[in-house]
């Protein structure tokens, strides 16, 4: 048919197609490293997802929802969250925060925590607004702030390495109070807090949270609190919700994820909890973009939370069992990494462990004419030569600060015992090769 089209109609588009707001945010660490891991890795401790099954009670709830009598579970549900899910989330978080929550106005369900974050930035950030991001940070915060027209302002956690040869802990990475205060100004609209923090596993202490809260109140700033790892806290540490501190409920959106909470990252069920005054604007973004999340996953997650509400604090609770299991896995990986000469930073929470890799500089070949940071080169070298995949830490830093933090890589230990054993085998073999060379 094309010979009927005039030459004008056949002409290829020549105008620039990309919207300006996408400039400079086209690169994505996961696309590159997920592909590398798929091609080369024997053991993949890169991307953060469990390779063990989601709990049986959750899988059963999904099967019941799928094949049960209620065929309406295959249809649309309420746009801002399936009623059984928002109801139980309101009960659960109401209990945790010690306040009455209205399921219809204080909770909104999202497509994973990712969409919750996206809604926050779109709803609150205007052209020219500044958003403070604590480094290292979950990488999507930066492009999301930029897409909303805002300017990210970065403040790094400063490492105070312990003396006397003790292992480092994620608690050794601290905010400098004066430096943090210096980032707040009239232009600051929001701060993003991620505790427990991906990638370090840092669980912010009450003192640190009070420091952030005081600055938020003083400068009338919002807090976007990404708490997806809220249940994954180790060694008896406590996860403190910044929304529970004085003056903070009114200005905080709490973000959570069933992916991390119930070891089902592929379900992409997330939520926001906060005051109606803030959530009403998230609803505007949600209703004009995603509109509605899959009903069936929401139904199953609702049942998961109903179970957890009943068993709250009891030994059978998944939120009690999962961190116990993960702490053991963390300790195995710490031992394995130490054997080969990496210096692990013991995480207080999350799926992740960051390790110092400065010992290996002479093993990793320089790439001529490349300004690729050492940790990127190391992670690529390790997956190609040893079959072990990890993520370079500088991927979690802004361009300006990347080069100060390129001696570390991040490993995910939310893995089957067999996977961690296979990683240990690789590391033991590597150790033997090192000592014999």
C-beta closer to ligand PMP: residue 265 or 424 = 265
Note whether 107 and 90 are within 8 A (CB). yes
C-beta closer to ligand PMP: residue 28 or 403 = 28
Q: Which residue is nearest to ligand PMP (CB)?
A: 112
Note whether 351 and 412 are within 8 A (CB). yes
Q: Hey, what's the torsion of the CAs at 275, 278, 280, 282, to 10 degrees?
A: -120
Q: In angstroms, what is the minimal distance from the CB of 68 to ligand PMP? A: 25
C-beta closer to ligand PMP: residue 138 or 374 = 138
Extract the tokens encoding 314.
Answer: 């009891």
Note whether 194 and 134 are within 8 A (CB). yes
Q: Exposed, middle or buried: residue 197 (CB in 10 Å: 0-12, 13-18, 19+)?
A: buried
Q: In angstroms, what is the minimal distance from the CB of 140 to ligand PMP? A: 7
C-beta closer to ligand PMP: residue 112 or 143 = 112
Residue 291's region, left for phi above 0, alpha for psi from -120 to 50, else beta, is left
Interacting residues toward ligand PMP by CB under 6 A? 48, 112-114, 138, 194, 198, 226, 228, 257, 259, 265, 268, 270
Which residue blocks in 20-136 are alpha helix, DSSP H? 29-40, 56-67, 83-97, 112-124
Residue 172 Cα distances to 163, 200, 288, angstroms? 11, 10, 43
Task: Report the C-alpha gap between 298 and 64 in whole angstroms.
Answer: 13
Note whether 135 and 398 are within 8 A (CB). yes
Q: In angstroms, what is the minimal distance from the CB of 232 to ligand PMP? A: 11
Nearest to 348 by CA among 171, 227, 163, 225: 171
C-beta closer to ligand PMP: residue 293 or 355 = 293
Q: Exposed, middle or buried: residue 375 (CB in 10 Å: 0-12, 13-18, 19+)?
A: buried
C-beta closer to ligand PMP: residue 59 or 421 = 59
Q: In angstroms, what is the minimal distance from the CB of 155 to ligand PMP? A: 17
C-beta closer to ligand PMP: residue 92 or 374 = 92
Q: In angstroms, what is the minimal distance from the CB of 269 to ligand PMP? A: 7
Note whether 188 and 219 are within 8 A (CB). yes
Go through 212-244 and write b for each residue having 16 or more CB atoms within 10 A of its CB, e for each that does not.
bbbbbbebebbbbbbbbbbbbbbeeeebbbbbb
C-beta closer to ligand PMP: residue 47 or 105 = 47
Q: In angstroms, what is the minimal distance from the CB of 387 to ligand PMP? A: 23
C-beta closer to ligand PMP: residue 77 or 265 = 265
C-beta closer to ligand PMP: residue 198 or 424 = 198
The label of the residue with tokens 């990793």 reads 364
Q: In angstroms, what is the minimal distance from the CB of 261 to ligand PMP? A: 9
Q: In angstroms, what is the minimal distance from the CB of 236 to ligand PMP? A: 22
Note whether 408 and 199 are within 8 A (CB). no
Q: In angstroms, what is the minimal distance from the CB of 373 to ligand PMP? A: 21
Q: In angstroms, what is the minimal distance from the CB of 228 to ligand PMP? A: 5
DSSP state of 347: -
């Amino acid at each position: 048919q094309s010979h009927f089209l005039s030459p004008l109609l056949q002409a290829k588009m020549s105008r620039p197609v990309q919207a300006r707001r996408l400039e400079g945010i086209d690169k994505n660490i996961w696309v590159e490293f997920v592909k590398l891991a798929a091609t080369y890795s024997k053991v993949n401790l890169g991307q953060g997802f469990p390779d063990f099954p989601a709990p049986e009670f959750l899988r059963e709830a999904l099967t019941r929802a799928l094949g049960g009598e209620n065929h309406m579970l295959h249809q649309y549900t309420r746009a801002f969250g399936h009623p059984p899910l928002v109801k139980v989330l309101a009960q659960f978080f109401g209990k945790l925060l010690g306040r009455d929550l209205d399921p219809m106005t204080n909770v909104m369900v999202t497509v994973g925590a990712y969409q919750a974050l996206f809604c926050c930035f779109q709803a609150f950030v205007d052209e020219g607004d500044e958003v403070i991001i604590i480094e290292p940070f979950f990488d999507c915060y930066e492009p999301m702030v930029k897409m909303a027209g805002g300017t990210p302002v970065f403040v790094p956690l400063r490492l105070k390495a312990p003396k006397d040869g003790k292992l480092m802990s994620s608690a050794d990475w601290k905010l400098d109070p004066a430096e943090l205060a210096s980032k707040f100004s009239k232009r600051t609209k929001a701060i993003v807090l991620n505790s427990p923090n991906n990638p370090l596993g840092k669980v912010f202490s009450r003192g640190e949270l009070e420091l952030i809260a005081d600055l938020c109140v003083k400068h009338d700033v919002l807090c976007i609190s990404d708490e997806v790892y809220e249940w994954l806290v180790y060694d008896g540490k406590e996860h403190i919700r910044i929304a529970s501190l004085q003056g903070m409920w009114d200005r905080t959106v709490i973000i959570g994820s069933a992916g991390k909470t119930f070891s089902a990252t592929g379900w992409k069920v997330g939520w926001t909890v906060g005051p109606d005054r803030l959530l009403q604007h998230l609803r505007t973004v949600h209703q004009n973009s995603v509109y509605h999340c899959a009903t069936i996953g929401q139904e199953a997650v609702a049942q998961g939370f109903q179970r957890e509400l009943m068993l709250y604090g009891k030994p059978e609770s998944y939120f009690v069992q999962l961190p116990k299991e993960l702490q053991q896995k963390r300790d195995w990986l710490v031992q394995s990494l130490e054997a080969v000469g990496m210096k692990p930073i013991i995480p207080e929470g999350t799926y992740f462990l960051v390790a110092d890799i400065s010992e290996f500089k002479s093993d990793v070949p320089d790439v001529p004419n490349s300004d690729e940071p050492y940790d990127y080169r190391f992670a690529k070298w390790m997956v190609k030569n040893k079959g072990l995949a990890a993520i370079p830490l500088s991927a979690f830093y802004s361009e300006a600060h990347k080069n100060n933090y390129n001696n570390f890589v991040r490993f995910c230990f939310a893995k089957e015992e067999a996977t961690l054993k296979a990683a240990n085998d690789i590391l033991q073999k590597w150790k033997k090769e090192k000592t014999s060379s």
